[in-house]
Homo-oligomer: A and B are copies of this chain.
Amino acid sequence: MTITIKDVAKMAEVSISTVSRVINDSKPVSPEARRKVLNAIEVLGYEPNEIARSLVTRKSNLIGVIVDDIGSYYVSQIVRGIEEIGRMYNYDIIIGSSYGDPKIEMKFLQLFKTKQVEGIILVSEIVDDDVIDYIENLKIQVIYLNRYYVVPGLLTVYLDNKKAANIMMEYLRELGHGNILYLTQKRDIDSTIEKRKIEGYKESMKEINKEPLIHTIDTHRIEGAYKYGEEILEVIKNNDITAVFCSQDELAIGLMNYLYDQGITVPEEISVAGYGDISVASIFRPTLTTIKEPYYDMGAVSIRKILKSLKGKKNSNTEDIELPIRIKKRGSCKKI
């Protein structure tokens, strides 16, 4: 049925070791033998069984990637980065979506371990103690990417979120805005990353002697933010808000949609800024001014880190990686 190394050896009239040697270029083989083997491989259409190979070499060339939802914008960009770099080094990725369920995250961690993956990248939006414990005791290198929470002890690739908020605020002030509303998700208000952003926002407001104003809603999705539009608009009107700084692009887009449907123009009547630079941010009209979280790079850097530690064998690899911040000045914010 499937043709194996034995068949090749037989046809080439050499031993299977010799065949193995030419396949792997692992030891010198006489030109004569090599030729015969190569020929047999060609004729038979032989393709080595990676499973068997993995079993003996203990190298699966597999990186496990657990994501919140492969269908979400930013996740697919991270995965793209992982995949593209992994491919350069002949690593394949095996993927699983948790849809925010820590039980499923856990299941994938275990499953991937049994699949002998050589590294795991976990893109999560939640924090679960069991998951953290499991990771800490795992001998497999894990990179933990979470756009809401920092989990001390887990290796990650991150942005200095406070500085990022500062940068955005500085820009809004340059445009003449003073009454700036910060819109965020209730659930995140205590998350480590959101706290840092809020810190940056408050600090900036203080510098211009303004009272910070934070409004929280119960969602982090576009459609969700849309539903809260009326409520947000109320806050805007009651406080003479001229610019809204949203903790995630999704909120910004949802809000802009609501405003659009109400006939309120952005940025003429109100400026809106986001955070993340998800891919729609740049194609949406008006295009969204935002902080670029370099998702592709996050993925790319993550897998690079894993590959490096795989090569070094050592866990010399214990420092988080900070990525540069970039502000995207686009159409949704305007000078007043």
Contacts and interface: CB of A to CB of B under 8 A. Distances in A.
A257 B285 CA distance: 7
B60 A70 contact: no
A148 to B, nearest CB: 21
Give this chain's copy count: 2
A113 interface: yes
A83 B54 contact: no
A15 interface: no
Interface stretch (A88-96, A119-127, A186-194): A88-96
Interface string A91-120: 011111100000000000011011110000
Contacts of A114: 47-50
A51 B48 contact: no
Contact of A76 (B51, B70, B87): B70
A69 interface: yes
Nearest to A93: B95
Contact of A54 (B47, B51, B94, B256): B51
Contacts of A49: 55, 114, 116
A8 to B, nearest CB: 14
Contacts of A95: 79, 83, 92-95
Contacts of A52: 55
A92 B115 contact: yes
Contact of A80 (B47, B71, B113, B253): B71
A113 B47 contact: yes
Interface string A312-335: 000000000000000000000000
A62 B114 CA distance: 13
A222 interface: yes
A51 B115 contact: yes
Contacts of A69: 80
A113 B257 CA distance: 46
A256 to B, nearest CB: 7
A171 interface: no
Nearest to A250: B283
A54 B116 CA distance: 12
Interface string A34-51: 000000000000011111
Contact of A96 (B77, B92, B223): B92
Interface of A: 47-52, 54-55, 60, 62, 69-71, 76-77, 79-80, 83-84, 87, 92-97, 110-111, 113-116, 222-223, 253-254, 256-257, 260-261, 279-280, 283-285, 296
